[in-house]
Chains A and B, each alone.
Chain A
């Protein structure tokens, strides 16, 4: 599960990880008001406007008009995903910028040309930066341990650093017994060349960061950049926090942090029915039981000349209701020109699944060709049921037969 930067910073504050003063806003009016009351009145002369979307690369992204797709300019400058505003009439400028940004779309390397609509902005006080660093914590699958990383190469994509200059990323593994220790934080601090007060602040910062990561059940926590200010403070200038989906049951409060507007509407709909659905750009929809088989089915669609429109795992108990919901969601995607159902009946019986498909089609209208492949327990009865149903299925028994049928259907288009 992903959350916004401002939400991550709120959580980090609870663990005494230092961040800047900031407020989130949802409308231009609110932005102007808060900029005046909480910033200008307090003597803050620089406000940073940071768009809050789940995609990365915001600093290098630009704002485009939602309708006309034209790059938006303000005061003779292009409006970016992150804007530093200073000088006179600060609150008014913040209002103007927020008006230009909110409701329009941000295009970054990660969003692609389609971009993503901005609905929230974080207003943050400006700060004078002496140096930018990187700090991150992530699971290392190989060792089965979390690893704390730090680098002098802050503010740039860490993947790029890892690729080009891996020796500049310092790593400390966290052995669960005895846990992350202070000496490890010291090693990182010295490795970054810190000394004096900043060194002490950094050690504290990292220890608290690890504590936050573990207690919050994060799957990723990245501070990029982590900055040393000219007055010697260590701060989290940005924060990216993902949670381990498997641990959400331990944190019921996280439901409030979920921003469904950042998710694909079809995926949100699917999650209501406990269906594992991911929307893709292709033309052949697929409905499969099991994640591995679902991925393999997507691959098979591509090898057969089509392109998968989705990932959809209906799970083990493929009953009528589930199948009907799955059909409905899959068919809401206008790009779908054909559907491939691939169910391997192990514990579930194929004839039951076949009944489920026929029942489901009484409630959902599907106008595109449907290829059904049911293999495993009672596959033959299932094939008979499908053929006698009066619905024009293309029935395959093997995976390769299904592949051929996909090719045929795609060619006719």
Chain B
């Protein structure tokens, strides 16, 4: 089991004929992802097979608009590889076409554009992952993004992170210890992202195939704190957390647009404390992430614990999850 994507997910690629789009589409097809369409305005009608040195396993039909691509191919997910000045428009186009899951890889989208996108998203049924993220992968089934597929392995750990290479590092540590993953999601390093920790953790909590959740946060904002509140109240599965940036100086943007301690807020210390207070297992060293997950998994009661399939029942929420999220957000705002 997994969340959001599996071997049946029909994916379209926005910006498929660009160099990034071409390279990563080839990689996704190679991994087994069902890439059913590509969109490049003005290149509709062709069957794209890749470029000179990057050839797709099978050609992908290209359309001028996302709407057309959806109509013709029944794509349910889209992945965006377009330059940052065009990316917000690409996301809005996907929302308008009714795409259920939008994954935006592009880095460097202006905040003003993302404010508009975020509002449009709230009024739609679409879910956005990113921007400025590596994407989502359900090992062995479907990879939508730019992560190296080979470090993953099917299993029961749900991984959610604000980072790219740090996620790969953590995933590889898990895989090396024989711990597979249900689904791994990089939610992105920008100040405004479509899916927050809390949104993904909610899904992992309900997923029968996820036994434990690994959450990798970093300095800036308070998404980790919000997630910790949520976990404390509603998540029975073990959660392991790591926060990057203990040594980051205040007021400086550490690579990611969202990784900044401003006005004394968003420090690693505050986040680690919030995580610990919520009963999350916090890893101190980034070198020990895999070991910590292993330790927690081994401690889990084997037989007496929740039987497979009972996780969903156990965590059945009395309220609508969206309401709960709003409640927590409001309490934090106050």
Binding site for B on A (CB under 8 A): 139, 141-146, 158-159, 162, 175-177, 214, 217, 219, 244-247, 249-250, 276, 278, 280, 282, 288-303, 307-308, 311, 313, 344-347, 375-377, 398-400, 402-403
**Contact string against A for B residues 311-334, beta-carbon threshold 8 Å, 1 for contact and 0 otherwise:** 000000000000000000100110
CB of A347 within 8 A of CB of B146, answer: yes
A-B contacts, 24 listed (Cβ < 8 Å) = A139-B192, A142-B329, A177-B119, A217-B112, A244-B112, A247-B111, A247-B112, A250-B85, A278-B252, A288-B165, A292-B218, A293-B166, A295-B166, A295-B254, A295-B255, A298-B247, A298-B248, A299-B246, A299-B268, A307-B247, A344-B165, A344-B169, A399-B173, A399-B286
Which chain B residues border A142 with CB–CB below 8 Å?
A: 221-222, 226, 329, 332-333
The answer to whether A403 and B285 have CB atoms under 8 Å apart is yes
B4 at the A interface (CB under 8 A)? no
A102 to B168, CA, bound (A): 50
| Residue B191 at the chain A interface, CB threshold 8 Å | yes
Q: With A141-B221, A292-B166 known to touch, is A376 a contact of B254 (CB < 8 Å)?
A: no
Pick the residue among B114, B216, B226, B247 that contacts A299 (CB under 8 A): B247
- Is the beta-carbon distance between B253 and A245 smaller than 8 angstroms? yes
Which residue of A177, A245, A290 contacts B165 across the interface (Cβ within 8 Å)?
A290
Q: Are B189 and A311 in contact (CB under 8 A)?
A: no
Q: Does residue B103 face the partner (Cβ distance < 8 Å to A)?
A: no
Tell me how many residue pairs across A and B have CB atoms closer than 8 Å: 176
Bound CA–CA A308/B252 (angstroms): 15
Name the residue among A291, A301, A376 with the largest chain B CB count within 10 angstroms: A291
Whole-angstrom distance between the Cβ of B152 and the nearest chain A Cβ: 11
Q: Which residues of A contact B27 (CB under 8 A)?
A: 347
Q: Is B264 an interface residue (CB 8 A)?
A: yes
Decide if A375 touches B169 in the complex (CB within 8 Å).
Answer: yes
- Kindly name the residue among A217, A250, A299, A375 whose own CB sees the greatest number of chain B CB atoms within 10 A: A299
Q: Could you mark each residue 112-145 of chain B with 1 if its beta carbon is under 8 Å from any beta carbon of chain A, else 0?
A: 1011101100000000000000000000000000
* Residues of B participating in the A interface, judged by any CB pair closer than 8 Å: 23, 27, 84-85, 108-112, 114-116, 118-119, 146-148, 150-151, 161-169, 172-173, 189, 191-192, 216, 218-219, 221-223, 226, 242, 244-249, 252-259, 263-264, 268, 284-288, 329, 332-333
Whether A144 pairs with B255 at a CB distance below 8 angstroms is no
**Closest B residue by C-beta to A216:** B112
| Chain A residues within an 8 Å CB radius of B84 | 246, 249
Indicate if the CB atoms of A146 and B115 lie closer than 8 Å: yes
- 4 A-B pairs with the lowest CB-CB distances in the bound complex, closest first: A292-B163, A291-B255, A290-B165, A292-B166
Whether B167 and A292, one on each chain, are in contact in the complex, defined by CB atoms closer than 8 angstroms, is yes
| CB contact between B286 and one of A175, A299, A313, A375 (< 8 Å): that residue | A299
- Determine the chain A residues whose CB is within 8 A of the CB of B329 once the complex forms: 142-143
Q: Which of A144, A246, A296, A345 contacts B166 (CB 8 A)?
A: A296
CA distance A375 to B162 in the complex (A): 20
Once A141-B221, A296-B166 are accepted as A-B contacts, the answer to whether A291 and B287 lie under 8 Å apart by CB is no
Is A176 a contact of B119 with CB atoms below 8 Å? yes
Is B248 within 8 A of A311, CB to CB? yes
Q: Which of chain A's residues have a CB closer than 8 A to the CB of B173?
A: 399
- Which chain A residues border B259 with CB–CB below 8 Å? 291-292, 295
Expressed in whole angstroms, the Cα–Cα distance for A284 and B226 within the complex equals 34
Assess the B252–A300 pair: CB atoms within 8 A. Answer: no
User: Does more than half of chain A's interface fall in helix, strand or loop, or is it mixed?
Assistant: mixed
Q: Within 8 Å CB of B263, what residues of A?
A: 158-159, 162
Chain B residues contacting A162 (CB-CB under 8 Å) are 263
The docked-state distance in angstroms from the alpha carbon of A298 to that of B287 is 12
Q: Give the distance in Å from the alpha carbon of A399 to the alpha carbon of B173 in the complex.
A: 9
Say whether A293 contacts B169, CB under 8 Å: yes
Bound complex: CA of A143 vs CA of B165, how far in Å? 27
The distance in angstroms between the C-alpha atoms of A14 and B258, with both chains bound, is: 30
Q: How far is the CA of A141 from the CA of B168 in the complex (A)?
A: 26
Query: Nearest residue in A to B191 (C-beta to C-beta)?
Result: A141
Interfacial chain B residues near A307, Cβ < 8 Å: 247
Extra pairs beyond A139-B111, A291-B259, A292-B165 (13, CB < 8 Å) = A144-B114, A244-B111, A246-B84, A246-B110, A250-B85, A292-B166, A292-B259, A311-B252, A311-B255, A344-B169, A346-B168, A377-B148, A377-B150
Residue from A141, A219, A289, A303 in contact with B285 in the complex, judged by beta carbons closer than 8 Å: A303
Chain B residues with CB under 8 Å of A402's CB are: 287
Q: Which residues of A contact B148 (CB under 8 A)?
A: 345-347, 376-377
Q: Measured between C-beta atoms, what is the minimum distance from A371 to chain B in Å? A: 13
The residue on A at minimum CB distance from B112 is A217
C-alpha gap A400/B287 in the complex (Å): 5
Assuming A244-B110, A246-B110, A295-B219, is B287 touching A141 (CB within 8 A)? no
Chain B residue with Cβ nearest A55: B251
**What residues of A have a CB within 8 angstroms of the CB of B287 in the complex?**
300, 398-400, 402-403
Q: Which of B247, B254, B258, B288 contacts A141 (CB 8 A)?
A: B258
Min CB gap A329→B, angstroms: 15
Give the distance to chain A from B132, nearest Cβ to Cβ, in Å: 9
CA distance A303 to B286 in the complex (A): 10
Question: Nearest CB to that of A311 among chain B residues?
Answer: B254
